[in-house]
Amino acid sequence: MSKQVLIIDDDKELSSLLLEYLTSEQIHCDQAFDGESGLNFCKQKPYDLILLDIMMPGIDGLETLKQLRRFSKVPVLMLTARGEDYDKILGLELGADDYLPKPFNHRELLARVKAILRRFDYAQEEKKSNVQKAGTLVMNHNTHMVHIAGEEVILTGTEYQFLSFLLENFGNLVSKDELSKEILGRRIVQYDRSIDVHISNLRKKLKPESELEIKTIRGSGYRLITTELSDTP
């Protein structure tokens, strides 16, 4: 079955080029040229991925993303102007999965799109165990739901995969580069804050009741541990 992608960008010329690139890869695309129309599309039809421009008149991309996350976990690849670090970080904090600075090479776009679609397919189809547990946290891969002390916790698709990977490597050091390659499908580059923001978002959602902590090992990466071991080097 063909993947369904929604392009939300007020630049009609660029949007048409994106449609051409993706259609050539047997990916079906719809187009919306403003945030409000894009949100309406998402309410009427399920998508596998959204390409979302940040700079749009009316409802900009960040507000569109904020409203989208109230009712959908669909993966979102932000299209940002090069150098707009604040918007990139804010977009990730609001629930975007990754970003691609403009101008970009169409091969880079296709690589990012395919990586996101592939990893979400994998996340839904293949797991070593149907359930992962640690502390009071339970991840059920049959239902794609996460509970902490019996209460459901809402994660984006990318946060879900980060948490699952950390659980698979519970207690062990996981490097930023390993996380980037395994979850984002690309090598980490200098000044890329994506991993930091996704981990920060996860920390906020791992409430004290989880009895878990994501510990930063400066210059090396992260370890998921129980809070009783949080003082252990």
How confident is the model at residue 50, as a pLDDT? 97
Span 32-57, mean pLDDT? 95
Question: Radius of gyration (Cα) for the chain, nearest Å?
Answer: 18
The values of phi and psi at residue 117, to 5°, are -60, -40
Contact 18, 108 (CB under 8 A): no
CATH numbers and ranges of domains, the chain = 4-124 (3.40.50.2300), 127-229 (1.10.10.10)
- Distance of alpha carbon 125 from alpha carbon 120, whole angstroms: 9
Which residues are paired to 101 by β-bridges?
Answer: 80
Q: Residue 209 has what DSSP assignment?
A: G
- Residue 181 sits at φ, ψ, to 5 deg, of -70, -40
Q: CB–CB of 163/139 below 8 Å?
A: yes
Given this model, what pLDDT does residue 167 score?
94
DSSP string, 87-145: HHHHHHHTT--EEEEES--HHHHHHHHHHHHHHHHHHHH--S-SEEEETTEEEETTTTE
pLDDT digits 0-9 by tens, 150-161 = 999 999 889 999
pLDDT of residue 212: 94
pLDDT band for position 195 (cuts 50, 70, 90): very high
User: How far from chain centre, in Å, is Cα 180?
Assistant: 11
Whether residue 208 is predicted with pLDDT greater than 80 in this model: the reply is yes
Q: What is the pLDDT of residue 103?
A: 85
The residue-averaged pLDDT of 122-136 equals 72
Closest CA to 149 of 194, 95, 105, 205: 205
Q: What pLDDT score was predicted for residue 16?
A: 94
For residue 127, pLDDT beyond 90: no
Determine which of 40-44, 68-72, 139-143 has the lowest per-residue pLDDT on average: 139-143
Per-residue pLDDT reduced to its tens digit, 115-126: 888 877 765 555
128 has a pLDDT exceeding 70? no
Q: Are 120 and 112 in contact (CB under 8 A)?
A: no
The predicted structure's pLDDT at residue 175: 93
User: DSSP code of 227?
Assistant: G
- What confidence tens digit (pLDDT) does each residue in 51-91 have? 999 999 889 999 999 999 999 989 999 998 866 778 888 99
Lowest average pLDDT, out of 87-101, 107-121, 214-228, goes to: 107-121
Q: With CA atoms as reference, report the closest residue to 80 among 111, 108, 107, 103.
A: 103
Grouping H, G, I as helix, E, B as strand and the rest as coil, residue 171 is coil
